[in-house]
């Protein structure tokens, strides 16, 4: 494992891990100043492409956006979601994971858990591919949202999944939409960091979709804290720009490109 991954692992039980999503250089450059992990999430399906789910995001989509994000990342661990259908079996998973790492120079890939695909994680790790796991609500495989870990049996099954992912060699695992009881139990009983989304403060770290927390996605479930209403700020700027153009107040002479000076 590289030094960035070892640094993430070392934070367990010591300091909270901060993660957000990015799909472009401009956003990644800002996040890189503060985040431990930047995730190029398949949530781009909803955020950028107005799709109802994440199922149609392709390898090309993931790679293209990661290439942009990589340009803005210097210190953060760059993790990339493997899209649905790209890791159906060990050989396919290895081929696609290698392609993502080779093309983008990212640090790791993330796989959503489904049935026994922790065996795929094990195979990838054996082939020197760093992997982050993902349990609970897994959008690639579960159509209907349901809070998980609401019974002792559910919690035990989730714990078993997390342990299997840990034993397979993953360096961390995302816990999505788990009860606080389940999140706490799993976090306390596995050695790798847990990154929560809608899974309480008991996790070792937190991740959100950046567009959600900035207030520009239109998707604001209970577990998202909206830190800005950026949609209003953008609208105000566009409104002022429109007014200036129509009243011939923009561009003014100071914006004219005369001579050779561009900036």
CATH of the domain at 114: 3.20.20.60
**135 assigned to some structural domain:** yes
**At 176, which helix (H) or strand (E)?**
strand 172-176
**213 assigned to some structural domain:** yes
- Other C-beta atoms within 10 Å of 47: how many? 19
Burial class (CB within 10 angstroms; exposed 0-12, middle 13-18, buried 19+) of 13: exposed
**What pLDDT score does 115 carry?**
86
**At 77, which helix (H) or strand (E)?**
strand 77-81
**142 assigned to some structural domain:** yes
d(CA 168, CA 113) in angstroms, rounded, equals 12
Quick one: tokens of 54? 């994440």
**What pLDDT score does 92 carry?**
98
**215 assigned to some structural domain:** yes
**260 assigned to some structural domain:** no
Structural domains in the chain (count): 1
Q: Residue 7: helix, strand or coil by DSSP?
A: helix
Per-residue pLDDT of the chain (263 residues; tens, 9 = 90+): 689 999 999 999 999 999 999 999 999 999 999 999 999 999 999 999 999 999 999 999 999 999 999 999 999 999 999 999 999 999 999 999 999 999 999 999 999 999 889 999 999 999 999 999 999 999 999 988 899 999 999 999 999 999 999 999 999 999 999 999 999 999 999 999 999 999 999 999 999 999 999 999 988 889 999 999 999 999 999 999 999 999 999 999 888 888 666 66
Contacts of 41 (CB under 8 A, 6+ apart): 21, 23, 81, 209
What is the model's pTM?
0.95
Range of the domain at 79: 3-229
By annotation, the residues acting in catalysis are 176
**93 assigned to some structural domain:** yes
**254 assigned to some structural domain:** no
**181 assigned to some structural domain:** yes
């Amino acid at each position: 494992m590289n030094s960035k991954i070892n640094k993430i692992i070392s934070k367990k039980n010591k300091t909270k891990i901060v993660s957000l999503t990015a799909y472009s250089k401009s956003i990644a450059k800002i996040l890189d100043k503060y985040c431990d992990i930047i995730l190029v999430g398949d949530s781009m399906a909803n955020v950028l492409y107005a799709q109802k789910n994440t199922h149609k995001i392709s390898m090309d989509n993931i790679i293209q956006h990661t290439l942009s994000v990589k340009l803005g990342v210097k210190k953060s661990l760059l993790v990339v979601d493997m899209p649905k259908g790209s890791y159906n079996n060990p050989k396919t998973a290895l081929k696609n994971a290698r392609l993502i790492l080779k093309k983008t120079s990212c640090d790791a890939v993330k796989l959503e858990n489904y049935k026994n695909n922790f065996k795929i994680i094990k195979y990838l790790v054996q082939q020197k591919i760093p992997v982050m796991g993902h349990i609970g609500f897994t959008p690639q495989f579960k159509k209907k949202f349901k809070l998980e870990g609401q019974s002792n049996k559910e919690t035990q099954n989730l714990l078993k999944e997390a342990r299997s992912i840990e034993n397979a060699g993953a360096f961390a695992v995302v816990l999505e939409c788990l009860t606080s009881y389940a999140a706490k139990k799993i976090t306390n009983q596995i050695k790798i960091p847990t990154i929560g989304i809608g899974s309480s403060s008991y996790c070792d770290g937190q991740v959100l979709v950046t567009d959600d927390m900035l207030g520009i996605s239109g998707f604001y479930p209970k577990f998202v804290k909206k830190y800005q209403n950026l949609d209003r700020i953008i609208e105000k700027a566009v409104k002022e720009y429109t007014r200036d153009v129509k009243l011939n107040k923009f561009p003014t002479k100071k914006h004219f490109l005369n001579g050779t000076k561009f900036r």
